[in-house]
Structure 1
């Protein structure tokens, strides 16, 4: 249980560190500075400690070599009268000489050993002449140098136990030149003072390195903060500006680069505020103008409509030219009235006054009703019209008036651009969404025009004769109606292959759409594309 808890906390800490690394420039700079400075300080500290340790040991070795060489001369002088190997006084004299040499040194806990060359080093035998029985097995490699054919003094550092626990010793050995049995002199010098000095140096270097790394991290954090804080203030100010708080500004301190950055940012914000205010005022005036003109034209339009209706009703009494003029007047007045209605609707969307009156509605009757009303137009254009709707209906929380208007606009455009080919309206739904597609096989859309078709007053071919007398605002209003429902209105088209428009709405008002029950690209178009590349659709 405890390892699992520790592992979970480590994962959380790692995730938090990664998140902070990605989001905070200051954290990254301080982290990189901390890592690099730790590497450099560690390398420097290790080098310094190693050099000091080697220097201390070299000094001790040199002084100890001088000491043992003097001791070897003194031992040779005192033992020169013992020329026989079996002299019974030799072991005692060796012990006396070793004791004298040990007492003459000012190094506490040091040991002096004199042994015969043919004795077993480390054995507790009387001929060692040692002041105590010691563990000398690890000194045999040194003895190989001492008893060899070479002359001189040799040393090594060993950890020995001489009765006070394992201790590091500097062990030196040299032959004693006498006229009798060859002898060897060994000095065991404890390195406690040197070890203490090396450990103290290592501790000082480590503490200094840690303090230096912490100081460098603090300096990096402080210097980075001086740079990052204005950037953070600029980011927060930019976020407030994007949220519509156009009066937000940065505080300018000093005359350095950051101050110039803040001044430039404030100048940019002021220019943007002026431009946005000017554009908002122009947009407001435009919306007001459109709304006022639309309302003001209602009164004269009503009067003209009354006169036009009277002339249209009496057209049979006119000569053919006047009767035709009355019919054209009636048609253009109908189109003008539709344009005013669309302009008023657009002005409501622009002003944010459009409201959704959603209620549970079966969309299948709406689809069939719109198709029946446009059947006469389809017959005049020679376009077969087909509706594919589920028999069980498709109930969703929508505004039926707006959905009917969207479908009427889509179907009218499809019939107008159908080029005498069939137009199919499909309705489908799933648990989360309901969708309607209107498919025609007319001129289609060029690449990029699937977005432009929803722009106000945009036409793919302005010179093309129009049959329905549309206002150029139908698809724009339809797009706003779809957005008001929280839905999608999308278009697909290809030159010579027709077009398809798809309206997708949530089944429950206010839900968020994630998918549509109908594809945007028609199945027949997908089959044609797959055939061109030799794949199965």
Structure 2
């Protein structure tokens, strides 16, 4: 049950965040409910206060009138016509009969303290037949006994058979001529009619508030729908355009602001489509140009290569200056040939013509072959390369492309392993693989302790022809396209090639490949950032010696 409630709350929050219509509609309805509630409360208070005040005024006036009439009749009767008991019964009977007609009940208490005690009438309470004496609050009795004037209060009427309801009690004192006793007379007026009126008023206000909120909500929904619908249509069209549907356009209805917005949106889409097509055509022409130039240069390059080889083989017969020129020519021809090869490879990636020749490849064997091939260069640079693997690291891959990636990473690590002041002579290559051959991943990490990377350069190292230090010489004769091609090779496998580095703390490159091509990569078996990178310090010559 809590999970269902959490899911419901989550869906509600999602609708609130994503739907302008829902937010506007709910906000308007809530604000309208607050306004209607405040106005209804104020009106109800004023109406109920007016009804109660009017009922109190009428009750007090009527009680004064009835008690005055009863007192006048007692004075006119005199003290000798009837005994005290008869006069008291006449007083109570007259008030009770008038109460049946006028709609009030009677409670008579007395004689009260200090009034001619012991003369005939006796002490007691007399009431109408359908009201209890407890309907008169004690504090009102005390007030009437202490002050001969008229007093009133609200009460809860109690009847012998149950029921009752709210009421007003008005009390005063009457002097009985026959015995000179003073009696407290209380007239009880029911407020059931006022209560029913207030109940009807509450129900009417509540019904009116609900209908008003529904009306406001409906009007708000219609208005917001007219505004939001074109916006939603624009969003959907924009999503389809971003997905490649450049021909999609918004429908235009009418000539209002929203229609002009749709027209402007369509015009913008036309301009964007035109620009995209121009860029696509320019990109196609550029790719075709690079491919054509690369192919066309191969024939003269072959001729120049043959002549260069002859000169290089005969450099022993030349004078020192000419021999050195022949060596430089041979080196630049090698670099030029590598550049043409890389340009052709890049043009295949740009044209989408690159394809994989898949096979089960043990990355440990690939890394060992690359380390063996680059061993002369590492020895010349006095760099030690170590390989760490827990076991076979098998993945479905194109062995030629993976070997090219690893060779680029190792060559770059050797090239950048030396700083200007200290020679950091270690390159660490680690391999790891997830145990699941279907959904798992395999990784190769190449770590050096050389010059490292400045902040922000980790995302730039894979750009074409980018160099961290343009003044730095390329020891391995790279073309500036190696890492760009390596990343494209990784993406072609559905993998990732990432970089990390800190100034003077070295750099790390991590290749992550799915063990089965097409499987998503959720995690890497090797970390990109070395564990000790946060606390490590620049390595010195003494550290290497130890």
TM interval, shorter chain, is: 0.7 to 0.9
CA distance in 1, matches of 2:318, 2:254: 86
8 Å contact kept, 2:494–2:514: yes
The question of whether the paired residues in 2 share the 8 Å contact of 1:489 and 1:504 is answered with yes
Match of 2:492 among 467, 479, 484: 484
State the secondary structure of the residue aligned to 2:43: helix
Distance 2:187 2:225 in 1: 62
Cα offset for 1:435? 2.9
Give the deviation of 1:197 after TM superposition: 1.6
Q: CA deviation at 1:232?
A: 1.9
CA distance in 2 between counterparts of 1:233 and 1:449 reads: 41
Tell me which residue corresponds to 2:79.
83
Secondary structure, aligned partner of 2:361: strand
Instruction: Work out the CA distance in 2 between the residues paired with 1:88 and 1:330.
Output: 147
Please state whether the residue corresponding to 1:479 is helix, strand or coil: helix
CA contact (8 A) 1:367 1:404 kept: yes
Q: Compared with structure 1, are the counterparts of its residues 359 and 113 closer, same or farther at alpha carbon in structure 2 (3 Å cutoff)?
A: same
Deviation at 1:286, TM superposition (A): 0.8
What value does the CA root-mean-square deviation take over the aligned residues?
3.2
Q: Offset at 1:130?
A: 3.9
Whether contact under 8 Å (1:94, 1:114) holds in the other structure is: no
C-alpha distance after superposition, 1:360-390 (max 9, x if no partner)? 22222222222222233334x4333423243
Structure 1 residues 398-407 or 487-496, which shifts more?
Answer: 487-496
Cα–Cα, structure 1 residues 174 and 401, in superposed 2: closer, same or farther, change >3 Å? same
Q: Distance in 2 between matches of 1:305 and 1:422?
A: 36
Instruction: Name whichever of 457-466 and 110-119 sits farther off.
Output: 110-119
Residues 234-249 of structure 1: pairs in structure 2 closer than 5 A: 234-249=234-249
2:44 to 46, 49, 61: 49
Instruction: Write out per-residue CA displacement over residues 289-310 of structure 1, whole angstroms, 9 at most, x where no aligned residue.
Output: 1112222333343444455555
For 1:148-163, list aligned pairs within 5 A.
148-163=146-161
The aligned residue for residue 390 of structure 1 is: 389
Match of 2:142 in 1: 144
Cα shift at 1:283: 0.9
CA drift at 1:405: 0.9
Residues of 1 paired with 2:449 and 2:123: CA distance?
Answer: 120
**Aligned counterparts of 1:245 and 1:340: Cα–Cα separation in 2:** 36
User: Aligned ranges for residues 429-444 of structure 1 at < 5 Å?
Assistant: 429-431=432-434, 432-444=440-452
TM-score under structure 1 normalisation? 0.85
TM-score between the two structures when normalised by the length of structure 2? 0.84
Once structures 1 and 2 are overlaid, which stretch shifts more, 218-227 or 288-297? 218-227
Q: How far apart are the structure 1 equivalents of 2:7 and 2:304? A: 76
Q: Equivalent residue for 2:468?
A: 460
Matches within 5 A, 1:19-418: 19-80=14-75, 81=77, 83=79, 87-102=84-99, 105-107=101-103, 110-118=104-112, 128=125, 130-132=127-129, 134-139=131-136, 140-163=138-161, 165-179=163-177, 180-254=180-254, 256-309=256-309, 327-379=327-379, 381-390=380-389, 392-418=391-417
> Residues 134 and 530 from structure 1, CA distance in 2 versus in 1: closer, same or farther, beyond 3 angstroms?
farther
Distance in structure 2 (CA, Å) of the matches to 1:384 and 1:10: 62
- Deviation sequence 1:507-537 (CA, Å, 0-9, x none): 3333333444444445675443499xxxxxx
**CA shift at 1:257, angstroms?**
4.3
Q: Give the deviation of 1:458 after TM superposition.
A: 2.0
Query: Which segment is superposed worse, 279-288 or 43-52?
Result: 43-52
- Check whether the contact 2:111–2:123 (CA below 8 A) recurs between aligned residues: no
Partner SS, residue 356 of structure 1: coil
In the alignment, which residue of structure 1 is the partner of 2:481? 473
Using a 3 Å threshold, how does the CA distance of structure 1 residues 360 and 144 change in structure 2: closer, same or farther? same
Checking the alignment, whether the CA contact within 8 Å between 1:78 and 1:97 is kept in structure 2 is: no
Secondary structure class of the residue paired with 1:204:
helix
Q: For the residues of structure 2 that align with 1:460 and 1:115, how far apart are their CA atoms? A: 109
Q: Which runs of 5+ in 2 are unaligned?
A: 114-121, 435-439, 540-546
Question: Does the aligned pair in 2 maintain the 1:388–1:425 contact within 8 Å?
Answer: yes
Distance in 2 (CA, whole Å) between partners of 1:318 and 1:126 is 153
For 1:354 and 1:347, how far apart are their aligned partners in 2? 9
2:116 maps to which residue?
none
Whole-Å separation in 1 of the counterparts to 2:353 and 2:91: 118
C-alpha offsets along residues 349-369 of structure 1, whole Å, 9 cap, x if unaligned?
111121222322222222222
Closer, same or farther in 2 for the Cα pair 1:284/1:146, shift >3 Å? same
1:432-453, CA deviations, whole angstroms, 9 ceiling, x for partnerless residues?
Answer: 4333333444444333333322
